[in-house]
A and B are shown apart, each in its own frame.
Chain A
Amino acid sequence: MRKVLVLNEKDNIAVCLVEMAIGEVIGQDGLNLTIQSLIPRGHKVATSPIAKNEGIIKYGERMGHATTDIKVGEHVHTHNVLGDRLSTEQVV
């Protein structure tokens, strides 16, 4: 069974289809990465290194940016990502 879903080849994240434990190895769809943090089902894992302020790409589209450097295999979520669009946003 597939553990992650890659939605678009331009993406730098994949969606986890099962909960991921630290140390788990993903070797499908040309990926070769080791999970660095506990990732709940349905959440995103970085499939490329993402630098601070770089875009998070899902469906081949930019859905926000990194607020810190993100390593391959790390959980990508609200603790390290902010949306781009909202005028009220304060980048920390």
Chain B
Amino acid sequence: MFAVTTIAILVAMMLALGRALLGPTLYDRILAVNTFGTITVLFIAIFGFLTGRPEFLDIALVYALINFITTIAVLKFFEYGDMGRSSLEQQESDI
């Protein structure tokens, strides 16, 4: 049961990797990275249960958190071209 799931996740990983490598636009790559992060979380959780060590779930949690933060950072970089600004300060600097 877990083994089949692991193989399915590996196939999904390959597909996401292909999209990241081929991706004509940058948005394809961003989406691929995000998908890959989610797949990694699933893979770690499944692999933990496959080998009978559920404490791997800790790491899966960390990945979920970090993936969230990274995605927000990437999107913010795209929207503002800058990491540090909030929109309020940007208005001030425009004046």
**A interacts with B:** no
The interface of chain A, by Cβ under 8 A from chain B, is none
